[in-house]
Amino acid sequence: MSYEQAHVLNDQNTQNTQNTVNPFDEITSDVSQNATPHHALSISSLILTAVLLAAGCILDLTVAKSLAITGIQPEFVIASFCLSILLLKPNVVQGIIIGALAATLIQLNTSIPGLEYACDIPASACMTLMTLAYTHMFGHVRDSKLDPFPFILTFVTTLISGGIFATVATLVFLHLELGAALVMAPIVVGTAFANGLVVALLYQPLKLVLHK
């Protein structure tokens, strides 16, 4: 074998060695890519959600009490989690986590233990599904200042939460017939309307500020 042939053969062996994938490196890469669970919220998303929910909680303790005399009292924490879902567009599991966080805050001011989780977790799941569908089907509308969907989705989500609350409270805790829950219907509808207005007014400005 000549010197040139030996040199070429050595270069080929070196190149093959470099191109050989180390199984350990491949496994390490897979682990690092999957280290963050798919359902986990990012730090920035958690911060945004926490700020919105904290603001909603404070408004519930202050402004909402003052508005009670008007007969239309927003539930600002529900409005906050609807706003958070609209801005972040999470998957269903992430949306449920946001709803559970909101329910924990509302539960602090609710005399019926655990009821808010039964109301807000299904409501947040519905809000997330509706938001994903709305984004997919009406993406050309959501950049418009006249976008009606934040109001509509928040209105429906609040109706779901309030409807569950009225039904469970009437049947399970008050031990009344289902028809008695209709007494709460005007309050639920009024709250849903107020929440829809709050989110509709805040969605576009926050979307611009956050570049969402």
Residue 138 has what pLDDT? 75
Counting DSSP H helices and E strands in the chain, the numbers are 9, 0
Q: Is 21 helix (H, G, I), strand (E, B) or coil?
A: coil
Give CA–CA dist 212/201, Å, rounded. Answer: 16
Q: Quick one: three-class SS letters along 48-105?
A: HHHHHHHHHHHHHHCHHHHHHHHCCCCCHHHHHHHHHHHHHCCCHHHHHHHHHHHHHH
Residue 66: which residues within 8 A CB-CB, separation 6 or more?
A: none
The separation between CA 140 and the C-alpha centre of its own chain, rounded to angstroms, equals 22
How confident is the model over 35-68, as pLDDT tens digits? 345 566 788 889 999 999 999 999 988 887 777 6
Average pLDDT for 166-173 = 89
Three-class HEC string of 152-209 = HHHHHHHHHHHHHHHHHHHHHHCCCCHHHHHHHHHHHHHHHHHHHHHHHHHHHHHHHH
Kindly report the pTM of this predicted structure.
0.77
Q: Write out the two tokens for 184.
A: 């709460």
Residue pair 193/72 in contact (Cβ under 8 Å)? The answer is yes
Which amino acid is present at 136? H
User: What average pLDDT does this structure show over 166-171?
Assistant: 91
